[in-house]
Chains A and B, each alone.
Chain A
């Protein structure tokens, strides 16, 4: 087969360029290396460049949710070039290294952070047959790579020689390490249902999206992916009102930009992973299998758009939550994880594992829809049972410490919420100088 420029361009448009080049170039060893390098450049640089748009979209959407306009000056009406302007600014800033910093750790951290975020995209199935590499252990690869980013954060905090950075890094490690557990467990559910660790097989197995099989598990995965990417309400690691900027307090210029890019790439990846594992990835009612008469793989192109659409949908919820929820406290955060999400997820995992085997062995005639229905019902039951246990223990706890919140305690005892208007007593001053105009709780100067 000889190279034909027309066919090559057409193959780019229906995302089969890799197959086309492989068929033209033959099967020599160097061909696979060149194709892999081309694939890597595409897989790594497109997410990196789309950070410009994702960042802008987030700023615009957040602004609208907070009744602002957001970036609207640079690059026309919608501030389209705002992020490019930001990057140019970052690139021309001085590369500052704080005094006493550990230089190796200080510069290794952002590099490691971005590299791991980029590496994650190797196993995202974008469209049928369009994937960096279809690893047999895809999900396992994702988990092992994403746990390296914890090391990057710890290096950043430790290397900066700054107390805020170090506090942020400690929090980051505690949070990321804790929330990795429910994330691992909730990824095991789609693996069991698809009976494969490969992300591609997982999508192929979802004639019915797994979110219908296991909605509670999907929810737990979503919450832990919020925590893993350090998004609000889990943004303790860079809580700006408490510890300045957390682990990247001392970073400026492009070195900070790399952390930001890594964060956005991590978020994009988590959105894609959620849509791959639970929302059916590129599948949408057989739309991804369309092939036009002249061999043009329209389905692949549509599959790409479906993937991006589903990812964008999840990302919108990420932004929505950021605009809505306040930040958690670290003890609440860790308690919620270890005492609620992990036990609940273990229960769900056990039920799914047992139930699926029983269905497949004894009642295979219910078919895919029946299987989905049974799993759905069992999942919802476990979810509500978990919430009920949580509610009761919370009530017990409130009754035990009812001194701290009289309003809630009264409501619990009477069985109905009652609004208790607390009378504010006038500030009492020892010397009778009541109307000095200061705050009632301010210390009174000695006379």
Chain B
């Protein structure tokens, strides 16, 4: 059975009330869902014996720089059994800049979510250890947002004296 039909069938069985949007581009299947369903859908995708999406390759976010739904959190997951990749997308608003953490489903999501928090400022609820990843803890800005300049803000990072 094709991957798209298989996933659609499983989603209908378990979450018949929710709304999912599928799209396909250059051979990659993308599933857009609501941000409150992310933990339920992820654990279903991981635990279901026909799907087994056990490897979480990447978690990141895209900043669209517009007022509504400014960020999209993107998850790339891979199933060794079916030998195929799936992309999950969830939109996050700037006002309510938080989303549930999937580190209870995949342990590797811990550091990916910390990096997304460091770079974009999106908070992850129920994350075991949400600290900054690359920038020092005292840094106040989030570098990958579109309103942060490339050369940085002078004085934001201290330098030792000569």
Partners in one complex: no
Show the binding face of A for B, using Cβ within 8 Å: none
